[in-house]
């Protein structure tokens, strides 16, 4: 009902039958971009996610920049502008979530219920990242949900699929 009478730009866009695109950037404890996705809010309230690979690089004046590098040099506005051009959609809105905010969101919904396909074991001493999540159906608490979306392996599509499942379970 709010959307029918609201005068905000978002509400007007949805009322006109067009989706609203929102860039979501998750930053680590050092305020460096860890992952990103584009949330697409459709009229009627349904939302879908487009995950942005961490390995995606953009041309810059001095060479190429990853998500991490672009966030450091141009901030979320730079990422938003470049993704808008790449995806050919407007990205006027963005949200930057730190790890604590991500954990609080997971806590607020009572955890993230999903099935972990295979046991996930990963260690990266430089990032102080030690992950060991058993396989099977479970409700992930805040710390485990964060580990789940941060886990990396040789299959480039796996982190994106995990991020999508986790964000969908969290915000659906």
94 pairs with which residues across the strands? 23
Q: Are strands 33-41 and 136-140 parallel, antiparallel or unpaired?
A: unpaired
User: Which tokens belong to 37?
Assistant: 């996705």
Distance CA 18, CA 68 (A): 31
- Which domains, ranges and CATH numbers included, belong to the chain? 2-171 (3.40.630.190)
Q: What number is the average pLDDT over the span 83-93? A: 92
At 68, the pLDDT band (50, 70, 90 cuts) reads confident
pTM of full prediction above 0.75: no
Q: What number is the average pLDDT over the span 120-143? A: 89
């Amino acid at each position: 009902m709010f959307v029918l009478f609201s005068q905000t730009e978002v509400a007007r866009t949805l009322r006109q039958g067009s989706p609203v695109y929102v860039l979501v950037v998750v930053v680590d404890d050092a305020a460096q971009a860890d992952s990103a996705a584009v949330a697409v809010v459709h009229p009627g309230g349904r939302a879908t996610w487009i995950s942005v690979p961490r390995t995606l690089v953009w041309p810059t004046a001095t060479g190429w920049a990853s998500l991490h590098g672009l966030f450091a040099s141009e901030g979320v506005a730079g990422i938003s502008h470049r993704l808008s051009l790449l995806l050919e959609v407007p990205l006027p809105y963005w949200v930057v979530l730190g790890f604590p905010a991500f954990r609080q969101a997971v806590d607020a919904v009572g955890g993230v219920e999903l099935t972990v396909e295979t046991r996930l074991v990963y260690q990266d001493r430089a990032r102080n990242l030690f992950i060991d999540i058993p396989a099977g159906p479970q409700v992930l608490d805040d710390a485990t949900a964060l580990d789940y979306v941060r886990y990396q392996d040789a299959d480039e599509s796996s982190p994106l699929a995990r991020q999508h499942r986790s964000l969908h379970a969290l915000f659906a």
